[in-house]
Copies of this chain bind each other. A is one copy, B any other.
Amino acid sequence: MDISEKIKDDILNSRLPKGQPLRQKDLSVRYSVSRIPVRDALLSLKAEGWLVPNGKAGVMIPDLNWQEAEDLSFMRAELECQLLKLAFDHITQRDIAAARDFLEALNEKNLTLIHRGELNWCFHDSLYRAADRPTLHREVERLNRQAVRYLGFQYGPLAYRQTSQHQHEALLGFVESRNKHAALVLLRQHIEEAGALLANYLKEIE
């Protein structure tokens, strides 16, 4: 686990302070490395949206907010449905088998948020891979990785895990039976529903 992953993990589990700049020195002590790898990690995390600039110097952990949740799910809905549509007729048995494996793995109760997020993306990715559209694919992956920051709410207070898993199974079913239309409708619903639920929840607690 490299430093960047450790920082993500610590952000997800609220082990790093929000609302104040993260100090390179503090982090270098915390993870027992020099400031150089810390700087590298902060740069990457900033580019991925896990951190935001803090004035003229330093970075901060941004607050989660309903607007970002809404925008992320909106963009995912638009782009991922397109990606699935492009992929659909080229999805192989191997892809389906891979998707099933990831789905299986997601049933495990004791997964870290990061691990669960990764498996979640891998499941979707198995279905998109056949689209063979690297740039679109890369962008969708970016969005999914940003959305991981919100997973804590979806699997915690919102208890959305069961529903999500059922939708995944249904989606895979439609792919296997080559029902493109139903798969696309369900995927959009899967993304938009989770986004709306999350956005509403965040609005409430704000």
A residues apposed to B, CB below 8 Å: 36, 39-40, 43-44, 47-49, 67-68, 71-72, 74-75, 78-79, 82, 133-136, 138-139, 143
Q: Is there contact, CB below 8 Å, between B36 and A71?
A: no
| Bound-state Cα–Cα, A133 to B48, Å | 18
Q: Is there contact, CB below 8 Å, between B36 and A68?
A: no
Q: Is there contact, CB below 8 Å, between B134 and A68?
A: yes
Q: Is there contact, CB below 8 Å, between B47 and A133?
A: no
> Which residue of chain B lies nearest to A47 when distances are taken between CB atoms in the complex?
B47
- For A74, the chain B residues whose CB sits under 8 A away are 82, 136
| Bound-state Cα–Cα, A74 to B136, Å | 9
| Bound-state Cα–Cα, A44 to B40, Å | 9
| Distance in Å: Cβ of A124 to nearest Cβ of chain B | 17
| Bound-state Cα–Cα, A72 to B134, Å | 11
- For A136, the chain B residues whose CB sits under 8 A away are 71, 74-75
